[in-house]
Structure 1
Amino acid sequence: MSLDWSALGQVAAVSIGVTVAVVVVFALGVLGLARFEDAREQNGTAAVAVTQAGLCFLACAAVVAYGIYLIVPQFH
């Protein structure tokens, strides 16, 4: 039995890259919620902060849904 080490390395690199990207996008969503809370306390407009948080959380949910789609064979 032999292993294709380059393919294993590619899978590991993509997995680590996607994981870091999802964590960064989620953190930006939390930052948007924090800015929303600050703007709401100061009676300011918080439309940009809510939009940022919503888009970031939607992107995270899309990545999770795509991962579930790839894992569950009934969806193919």
Structure 2
Amino acid sequence: MNIDWAALGTVFGVSLLITVALVGLFTVGIVGLAKQAPTARSAGSGAPARVGAYACFALCAAAVAYGIYLIVA
């Protein structure tokens, strides 16, 4: 049995990079929702932050769905 160490290292590196990027994107979404002050929520001035946070969550969901698609297909 031969192990292709270069391919294994590539898979490990890409997996690590994608994991860090996804966690970072999700964190940006959480921070975007948390930065709104209670008074700003009622005034509606936090709408751009909320939209950006939801966009981050949508990108995370799309990346997870694509990963599941790759596993199943």
- Do the two structures share a fold, i.e. TM-score over 0.5? yes
1:66 matched to 2:59? no
Q: Map residues 1-76 of structure 1 onto 2, 5 A cutoff.
A: 1-36=1-36, 38=37, 39-40=40-41, 43=43, 45-73=45-73
- Identity over aligned residues, as a percent? 54
Q: Secondary structure at the match of 1:2?
A: coil
Structure 2 residue runs of 5 or longer lacking an equivalent are none
> How far 1:16 moved relative to its partner?
0.4
Structure 1 residue runs of 5 or longer lacking an equivalent are none
Larger RCO (alpha carbons 8 Å, 6+ apart): 2
In 2, distance between residues paired with 1:31 and 1:51? 12
RMSD (Å), alpha carbons: 1.3
Letter in 2 for 1:18: I
1:24-49 CA distance string (max 9 Å, x none): 0000000111123x1316x3501211
> How far 1:57 moved relative to its partner?
0.1
Which consecutive aligned stretches of 4+ in structure 1 deviate over 2 angstroms post-superposition? Answer: none
TM-score (norm: length of structure 1): 0.85
Count matched residues: 71
